[in-house]
Structure 1
Amino acid sequence: MNERSGLAQILEAAWGVRDQRTRRRQRGLSLDLIVNAAVRIASTEGLSAVSMTRVAGDMGVSPMSLYRYVQAKDELLILMADAVYAVPPEPVEPAAGWREGLCNWAWGLHRLLREHPWVLRIPITGPPATPHQVLWLERGLASLAGTRLTETEKLSVMMLINGFVRSEALLFSEVSQAFSGSGSQEAMSFYSSLLGKLASSDQFPFVHAALSAGGYDEESGPDDEFEFGLRCVLDGIEQLVERGRATA
């Protein structure tokens, strides 16, 4: 089986096509129950704890019985990722404008990834293609419907915002793990003080100036960096939208 045919079968399962053809179902089992059990494990113990054997054990069935519904762990991971996207962001009224719509979309994804950081560890196999993720894309594109952006530009905008939110969420997750057991602000202040002593102003004048100004010493909320980054991204998109309007 080549990679494309394997992905096609996974997507058939996600969209419920293959599930309708599954034979010899076991009573008390379904694809949704299996995926939900795997999500619970990942949410409480991390993605590394998820295995076909572990999911089967939690459900009180044999591992082989799961293979009637899920062909492999890779398939299970993709279905798990789609499951946490089950609740898309609420549509924003068109009168609110594209910026409010994209801001709402980005904050929705931000909250989802903070709640389920293990999703970030699942390899991306391509553009959104599972049903819940496609619905998220649909909601995002709907926010841009009133602009004069081309359809290609709209897709690129959504890729940009999605990439920013995922990148920020991954950084937040890794920093949180690195600073576990000590306050992040305390750790950043220690880092700033130590680096300020090691990086001389002669060798690293700009780094030294930033550290001397106390950039890492200021108290900040957990979402401050996200708010700043999102504002910058939306400001850039606004330039693109305005340019398209002027050209038209």
Structure 2
Amino acid sequence: MTEEDPLELPRGIALAWGVAATPQRGPKREMSVERIVDAAVALADAEGIGAVSMAAVAARLGFTPMSLYRYVSAKDDLLLLMQEEATGIPPESHLEAEGWRGRLVALYQEQVLLYLRHPWMLSLPITGSPITPHSSAWLDASLAALESTPLDAEERLAVALAVTGHARWCGIVQAGYSEQSRTSGMTPEEITMRESALFDRVITADEYPALRAAIDERAFLSEADPFRFGVERMLDGVEAYIDRIDRGEPHVSTDEWVDLDRAELSGDRRVKEAQKSVREAEKALRVARKAERQALREARERIAKAAARD
């Protein structure tokens, strides 16, 4: 490829943008990429992403798998198109919110709802920026919400990604609870009570003092939304940063990434064995410290009993 040649779009992305070649022969009226994707999304919504296969989608449509491959040539492309269809475009209602912060919160809430409607989307791997029309529209909406601020392009993108990350994390947890409720028959409140009781049974103040204190303060039984609290406090920080820029303070560059040594990713057997030895040593240290705490507690009890007798 030369500098003048345009980069060829992968098949799935080309299909999403409507610029891929379509079959010239076959059941054109009965079959289309749109019908295939709609059927796959309906299947995933009803039975989960594990139920989606080219054969299952074909059966749902009343065709053979080979018929599908003439329109969508790989399952990875189908998954990308399913994600694109389920994502849709951001609702215009977010434009009615007040200010950049209100719009971002509205977009956050809508993204969480997307994950609750289509929890299978959370199972799809993240392989890079989703360069598709609908996903691009969501990112564009977040960036547009920040256009009135003094943030530069990199900072606006960072804030948009942070909001998306908060929404995804909330979606993961909320969808998990919804699935547990569906499979167990318990209400969300019953699940919360059960989890609190399990925590109460196994978490001790000696071994997990901060967690034990949170349990005793009934933090896990609170009806407050911890995810909304997190995204609001993150936006507090952005707002304070914007205020500093408005006062003439310089932009802050944060160009350091969390870096992992390439050797850790190499799959080297000796590295993996050494890491396993470290984990085992850390586990043994935790066990030893637990035994020490137990011994100290018992010693204090003996001293107290002896003092009471005296």
TM-score for the superposition, normalised by structure 2: 0.71
Does the 8 Å CA contact 1:91/1:101 hold for their aligned counterparts?
no
Matches within 5 A, 1:61-210: 61-90=63-92, 92-93=94-95, 96-179=98-181, 180-210=184-214
Give the corresponding residue for 1:217: 221
Q: 1:243 to 1:162 in 2, by over 3 A?
A: same
Contact 2:89/2:135 (CA < 8 Å) preserved in 1? no
Q: Displacement, 1:105?
A: 0.9
Partner of 1:39: 41
Contact (CA 8 Å) 1:89, 1:139: kept in 2 or not? Answer: no
- Partner SS state of residue 123, structure 1: coil
- One-letter identity of the residue aligned with 1:23: Q
Q: Distance in 2 between matches of 1:169 and 1:80?
A: 18
Aligned residue for 1:29, secondary structure, equals coil
Q: CA deviation at 1:52?
A: 0.4
Question: What is the CA distance between 1:63 and its match in structure 2?
Answer: 0.8
Local SS of the residue matching 2:34: helix
Whether 1:241 and 2:242 are equivalent positions in the alignment is yes
**Contact 2:192/2:221 (<8 A) preserved:** yes
Contact 2:94 2:107 in 1 (8 A): no
1:194-219 CA-to-partner distances (Å, cap 9, x unmatched) read 4334332233222221111112234x
Distance 1:35 1:187 in 2: 35
- Between the two proteins, the alignment pairs up a number of residues equal to 240
Letter matched to residue 37 of structure 2? V
Report if aligned partners of 2:101, 2:235 keep a CA contact under 8 Å in 1.
Answer: yes
In 1, Cα distance between equivalents of 2:13 and 2:237? 34
Q: Aligned equivalents of 1:6 and 1:67: distance in 2? A: 20
CA contact under 8 A between 2:115 and 2:175: conserved in structure 1? no
Tell me the distance in 1 between the aligned counterparts of 2:242 and 2:207. 42
The 2-side partners of 1:6 and 1:171 are apart by 38
The alignment-based identity, stated in percent, is 37
**Highest relative contact order (Cα 8 Å, sep 6+), 1 or 2?**
1
Cα distance change, pair 17–110 in 1 and its aligned pair in 2 (3 A) = same
Give, in angstroms, the shift of residue 103 of structure 1: 1.0
Q: Distance in 2 between matches of 1:77 and 1:182?
A: 31
Partner of 2:204: helix, strand, or coil?
Answer: coil
Output the CA distance in 1 between the equivalents of 2:93 and 2:221: 39
Of the structure 1 ranges 68-77 and 177-186, higher mean CA displacement relative to structure 2 is found in 177-186
The residue type paired with residue 214 of structure 1 is: R
| Cα displacement (A) at 1:46 | 0.8
CA-CA distance at 1:78 after TM superposition: 0.3
Computing the radius of gyration from Cα coordinates, the structure with the larger value is 2
Following the alignment from structure 2 to structure 1, what is the Cα–Cα distance between the partners of residues 88 and 192? 36
Structure 1 gaps of 5+ residues are none
Report the Cα distance in structure 1 between the residues aligned to 2:47 and 2:153, rounded to whole angstroms: 41
Q: CA deviation at 1:232?
A: 1.9
The structural deviation recorded for 1:175 is: 3.1
Aligned-residue Cα RMSD (Å) equals: 2.3
